[in-house]
Amino acid sequence: MRLPLLYILLSSMMLGPPVAAAESDTAGGAQSMTVIGGDASARDCFNAASIAARRDYSDPKSVASCTHALEHSRLTDRDRIATFVNRGILYLAQRELDRAAADFDAAIGMNPASGEVFVDRGNIAYMRRSYDAAISDYTRAVELGLEMDHIAYFNRAMAYEHLRNFDGAKADYRRALELEPQWFMPRVRLDSLMQASAAQPAAGAER
């Protein structure tokens, strides 16, 4: 079962048991951007990206509406940025990571103050197992501010875990819980880390 793009799920390299039975590392927190103006192709691109972000799937044909909008529509700068992001999300759902990264880079080049786009780009770095780069982008997203900042903290915590920076991971899981108390995933990961920390002295004593 492929799970939605709402979270970064644990890969086969993750320490401890996975939160869910993920078949592959998937990006978390991808957010489509609403198109205010533009023509039907730009709106179709947004609608397809919204579905892809929820289902972690997109029909390769759906990219065509985004490309048409970027190449042929009269878009405001804001809608052009949104369309780059939306096409990047479609590429991400198709695991076309280079193409997704190029679109997110284009959006950041036009507006380097969008926290959401840095989360999207950080997800690509995470999927490539470039955890330092992922942490850099998630940190920038937090600095810039974004609506779903608990996702950025959770994703950064996951990257910290891969780098065995467990103190950083714990701090970010706690922050994600402060921002979204009803969200179970940071609680599960934090509890797992706390149990592992508690077990370490006992394991050392047995030796």
What percentage of the chain carries pLDDT values higher than 90?
60
Contact 147, 131 (CB under 8 A): no
More confident of the two residues 5 and 23: 5
- Can you give the pLDDT at residue 3? 31
Radius of gyration of the chain (CA): 18
Judged by average pLDDT, the poorest of 35-39, 147-151, 173-177, 196-200 is: 35-39
Contact 87, 48 (CB under 8 A): no
Q: How many CB atoms lie within 10 A of CB 178?
A: 11
- Can you give the pLDDT at residue 5? 40
Contact 68, 38 (CB under 8 A): no
Cα separation values, 14 from 11, 42, 107, 155, 193, Å = 5, 38, 31, 13, 12
pTM (2 d.p.): 0.79
- Can you give the pLDDT at residue 30? 60
- Can you give the pLDDT at residue 29? 55
SS3 of the chain: helix, strand, coil, percent, to 5:
65, 0, 35
Domains of the chain: 40-206 (1.25.40.10)
Average pLDDT, integer, range 138-144: 96
Strands (E) across 11-127 are located at: none
pLDDT bracket for residue 37 (50, 70, 90): low
- Can you give the pLDDT at residue 196? 87
Contact 45, 89 (CB under 8 A): no
Residue 23 has pLDDT above 70, yes or no: no
pLDDT bracket for residue 198 (50, 70, 90): confident
- Can you give the pLDDT at residue 16? 27
**Structural tokens at position 129:** 């197992």
69-93 per-position pLDDT tens digit: 999 999 999 999 999 999 999 999 8
More confident of the two residues 6 and 84: 84
